[in-house]
Amino acid sequence: MFKFVFCFFSAFSMASPALLMRVVASAYSVAEKAATVVRNVMSSGDLGIVEKAGPNDLQTKADRLVQMSICASLARKFPKVTIIGEEELPTDDVTEDLIEDGHCEEILKKPCPAQYTGIKEEELVIWVDPLDGTKEYTEGLLDHVTVLIGIAYGGKAIAGVINQPYYNYEAGANAVLGRTIWGVLGMGAFGFQLTEAPAGKHIIVTTRSHSSALVNECITALNPDHVIRVGGAGNKIIQLIEGKASAYVFASPGCKKWDTCAPEAILHAVGGKITDICGNSFQYNKEVKHMNSAGVLATLRNYDYYASRIPNTVKESLVP
Ligand code: AMP
Ligand code: MG
Ligand code: MG
């Protein structure tokens, strides 16, 4: 009897963590390696800027190296997972120095939410934005930059990692540079202090480098007290969860699934909501169209307040 009980408990405690937690724990370390690459490319002084679809759609050496690093590192550990990255690059000739095989022990120790314990590798889709806010990176607005790794199951964003490589970069030499925020639906989000925006104030965060007449028309219709214009989808979700802004409003195509997957998982994990401007939720299955054609509307609280005030003329101009 003793032997049976002992064996039962030792087998239980040594049971390997659920796949989802292993993927998140690895994505955490992979994103930290990515942040080091982002900082190293900047300090090398050679950004290797390439225009993809014009001057407002840039790629740097950091976007390329980080894409290869994240995709190859995760593919090596989880070969059956579908990984979709922003940059079109080969993953077969990645140098060993770009591979990260570590994981975050603290994440592995947390229990996986029951509804996700049975997930198999081939059921996961990972959406990777190696460097979100590239335009701002090239202009030296370094804390706008994030690395985004979003994890989807059944078409839903269920977990995500956002690394901010230059968090604290203006806080002086003693401050720790960079941070990693992560979250899982049903578990919560970690690595930051959840804060609500000031009550009764309507502070809108939006694009600074991809504006348009429609983007501005939509914001004006919401009659905000203040508008914050910053780069990056990841950075704008951080503004929401840290109480700097009450709504992220972007009435334009341009954002893609790799921009919204990790931010969505983290925002939803803390009770927020993100949809397109028309109120449709995003899908993240591997066959889905990459472009979020009908823009983005996200809030930590009071989603309905903003959704109900988006003009029909704006919604009709955006086709999902
Ligand atoms: P932004 O808020 O302008 O920093 O955009 C958030 C994300 O969407 C970034 O990854 C941008 O590159 C992308 N994005 C938004 N609008 C466009 C656009 N017109 N062309 C290319 N990328 C865009
Ligand atoms: Mg991006
Ligand atoms: Mg990018």
Distance 250 CA to ligand 2 centre (A): 13
Distant-in-sequence, close-in-space partners of 274: CB < 8 Å, separation ≥ 6: 237, 248, 260, 263, 264, 267, 268, 281, 282, 296, 297, 298
With the most atoms of ligand 1 within 8 angstroms of its CB, the residue from 58, 207, 218 to mutate is: 207
Q: Is the CB–ligand 1 distance for residue 56 below 6 Å?
A: yes
pTM above 0.85, yes or no: yes
Structure tokens at 151: 């994890």
Q: What is the DSSP letter of 242?
A: B
For residue 84, pLDDT over 70 is answered with yes
**How far apart are alpha carbons 150 and 257 in whole angstroms?**
9
Residues with CB under 5 Å of ion ligand 2 are 129, 132, 259
Distance 232 CA to ligand 3 centre (A): 8
- Rounded mean pLDDT of the chain? 95
> Residue 31 has which token pair?
């994103």
DSSP state of 195: B
Kindly tell me if the per-residue pLDDT of 165 is higher than 60. Answer: yes
Residues annotated catalytic, as ranges: 63, 134
Chain Cα centroid distance, residue 100: 19
Determine the residue type at 125: V
pLDDT for 8: 46
What was the pLDDT predicted at 173?
Answer: 85
CA distances from 145 to 3, 13, 51, 230, 234 (A): 55, 39, 18, 10, 8
